Amino acid sequence: MPRLNWLKPALAILLVFALIMPLFPTAECAVNITLRSDTQALVAGAENTIRFTVGNTGNNTANEVVASASIGTSLTGGNLLMIVGGDGRYNLSAIEPGEEAQFNMTVYVSPSAVGQIIQISFTISYRNESSVATTSVTRSVGFSVSNKDLDSATLVPRIVPGELSPGQNNTLTLVIDNVGKRGATNISVSLGYPGSGAGTSQAGTSSLLTALTSTPTGTVQGSSQFIIYDSSGRWIIDSIAANGTVEIPVTLYALPSTAGSVFLFPVQLAYTDGFTYVQETRYAGTRALPAPSEATSFSIQLSTQELVAGRVNALEIRVKNVGAGQASGVVLGIGLSQATSGSISIPSSSSLALIGSDGTWVLGSMAPGEEKAINLNVYVPASASGSITSLSTSVYYTDSLSRSRQETKQLGILVKGEVNLVVLETSTFPQNISQGKPFSVSVTMINIGSAPAKSAILSPSGNGAIRPTSSDRIFIGDIAVDVPSSFTLSMLGENVTSGAYTLNLSYTYKDSLGQIQESSLLVPLNIRVAEANNGASQPSEPAYSAFLGAYWPYLLAAAVAIAVAAIFIKRRKRGSDQ
């Protein structure tokens, strides 16, 4: 048999996980860190001072906030900037809900970075006030790089606000800033989709207007994640003065699958400043908000967690949507043996057997708070008596953000054996009892259940004219399965008549799980009463005669024993005299 060398490390990991779980903050007291900069344009070949703002839009205080900069590479690769005058680590102390903290960082941008996009990432660590653990998140800001010579016109695009809400229409503004020293004219702007080139959408003809006007309305579908509504994504702008700005309203639908991701939208720009003609592609970044996090979306409960070994148990399992959103295509899988149903893998609970079902149920759509019940028939073998096992369940569904999800749960099951005592035979001594005189009742029984009754204690009771001579309880001990056992009761009959009687005896025992149980045993009894001499001339029987009549076998046995002992002693004495 192989040694279970893996067991100790696995138990240690589980113990560490159980100890650190309470350290994580709950969803009800969350910190949400945001990051933005005061500019999205850097100048190549020069030092650039950037003011970063770290905000807390959650509902809990972020303590010991530390922002650590990580200089990223450009879209074409290579390190194009360096931090000046520091190591890129900034201590921001505590940030209350709804408040912000700011810091300045100076970077030098390489001259070769002209026309490229550079990303600066920050690892922001903080401690939730309800936890001692430190949490870290990563936030990034993208920058476009322009030439150090700003005598010409330079157009830089950006998207405001910098966040999208997945699964709905977003009203955004595409802002075009002229950061140069000359005005730009005859400007063409084309907004593309992340992962595709700018200006690939087709939705009608554009018109050259003196101000800012969108093309004829129409829905443009350019990728599988975003849709631009009521526009082709192309605009013609007459002019933008030096240091001027033009704002273009854009309605953008983001699919639910974009949640929690960062996207760079390509913006193709073509313009002239009177001396040169420029045609280039720049990028405007935005972030899709993360989906609401739910510790669990479904709860699963059993009508009982105690099953009886050696029989088929009827159960009801209840599935409830405890999440905040609609769940569609809900499928419940219950694993009592390792099985696969289509693409659904059902975990195993080998000590149980499901009767009358393959273990999968299609529940359809479930609204928040909706609950559905399923009836099960589960067989537990007698050999599982006294064990603890689990019922493995898996819930497959599509959440409100169109994501396929799976939840697997283990429901604890206690398997107890059944004790079933059946009376085989009863008898009385003497066979014909006398009024007002004690008699004994012998009971032979058998346990036909699936588990022994341990430390059984019987409480005697009577039935009308028949009552026990003592209220003391009788210790029977362990009653094994399929093995006859017996006990004797001392009873007394007063004004009793011949016939059938039933004694309802209560008893306690320990079941296979060590729990104290109480039950009752019905003992059928056939009583025959000795005929009494009712003649008036007959004197009453002396007390010693009644005693001899009831206990003469015991007295005879005692007399024989005494005689044998006397003969033995006399012979030993005679042998010693000789």
Please report whether residue 12 resides in a domain: no
| 46 domain-assigned | yes
Cis peptide before 430 (omega within 30 of 0): yes
Q: Flag whether 13 is in a domain.
A: no
Question: How far out from the chain centre does Cα 38 lie?
Answer: 43
Looking at the structure, do residues 160 and 261 belong to the same domain, yes or no?
A: yes
50 is a domain residue:
yes
pLDDT at 277: 80
Please report whether residue 140 resides in a domain: yes
CA 198 to chain centre: 45
Compute how many other C-beta atoms are within 10 angstroms of the C-beta atom of residue 70: 12
> Is 32 within a domain?
yes
- Strand bridging mode 163-164 / 277-288: parallel
DSSP E strands, 218-359: 220-221, 226-229, 234-240, 245-254, 262-272, 277-288, 298-302, 306-308, 311-321, 327-335, 339-341, 344-346, 353-354
CA atoms within 13 A on the CB side of 436: 4
Shared domain check, 126 and 54: yes
Residue 90: how many CB atoms within 10 A of its CB? 20
Kindly report the three-state secondary structure assignment for every residue of 179-216: CCCCCEEEEEEEECCCCCCCCCCCCCCCCCCCCEEECC
* Number of domains composing the chain: 4
For residues 496 and 454, membership in a common domain is answered with yes
Residues 407 and 449 reside in one and the same domain: no
Asked whether residue 563 is assigned to any structural domain, the reply reads no
Which of 148, 167, 201 marks a domain boundary? 148
Q: What is the pLDDT of residue 166?
A: 85
pLDDT value for 382: 84
Please check whether residues 170 and 244 belong to one and the same domain: yes
pLDDT at residue number 201: 36
In contact, 374 and 331? CB cutoff 8 Å: no
Last residue of a domain, one of 148, 164, 185: 148
Q: Are residues 84 and 68 in the same domain?
A: yes
**Could you count the other beta carbons within 10 Å of the beta carbon of residue 553?**
9
Residue 443's H or E segment, with its range, is: strand 438-447
> Do residues 187 and 92 both lie within one domain?
no
Task: Tell me what pLDDT residue 212 has.
Answer: 27
Same-domain pairing of 348 and 391? yes
Using CA atoms, how far apart are residues 385 and 376, in angstroms rounded to an integer? 20
- Residue 336, pLDDT score: 60
Residues 427 and 451 in one domain: yes
Helix (H) or strand (E) holding 178: strand 168-178
Q: What was the pLDDT predicted at 207?
A: 25
Beta bridge partners of 528: 432
Is the domain of 262 the same as that of 178?
Answer: yes
- Integer-rounded Cα radius of gyration of the chain: 45
Q: Tell whether 130 and 165 lie within a shared domain.
A: no
Domain-located, residue 316: yes
Residues 334 and 429 in one domain: no
CA angle 187, 191, 195 (to 5 degrees): 140
Q: Give the pLDDT of the chain (578 residues) as one tens digit per residue.
A: 455 565 666 666 666 565 555 555 444 568 899 999 998 888 877 788 999 999 998 888 889 899 999 875 544 445 678 888 888 899 998 999 999 999 999 998 887 787 788 889 999 999 887 666 788 899 989 888 877 655 678 899 999 888 888 888 899 999 999 988 888 999 999 998 887 544 433 333 222 222 222 333 333 333 468 888 888 889 999 999 988 999 999 998 888 778 888 888 999 999 988 767 888 889 988 888 886 655 458 889 988 888 888 889 998 999 999 887 788 889 998 876 434 444 344 444 456 788 888 888 999 999 888 999 999 898 888 888 888 888 888 999 988 767 788 888 888 888 888 888 999 999 988 888 888 889 999 999 999 888 898 999 998 888 878 889 888 898 988 999 889 999 998 888 888 888 888 888 899 999 888 888 899 999 998 889 887 654 443 444 444 555 555 566 667 777 878 887 888 787 776 666 65
**pTM > 0.85:** no
Residue 546 host element (H or E): helix 543-577
Q: Which of 247, 264, 291 is the last residue of a domain?
A: 291
Q: Which CATH number goes with the domain that contains 51?
A: 2.60.40.10
Range of the domain at 228: 150-291
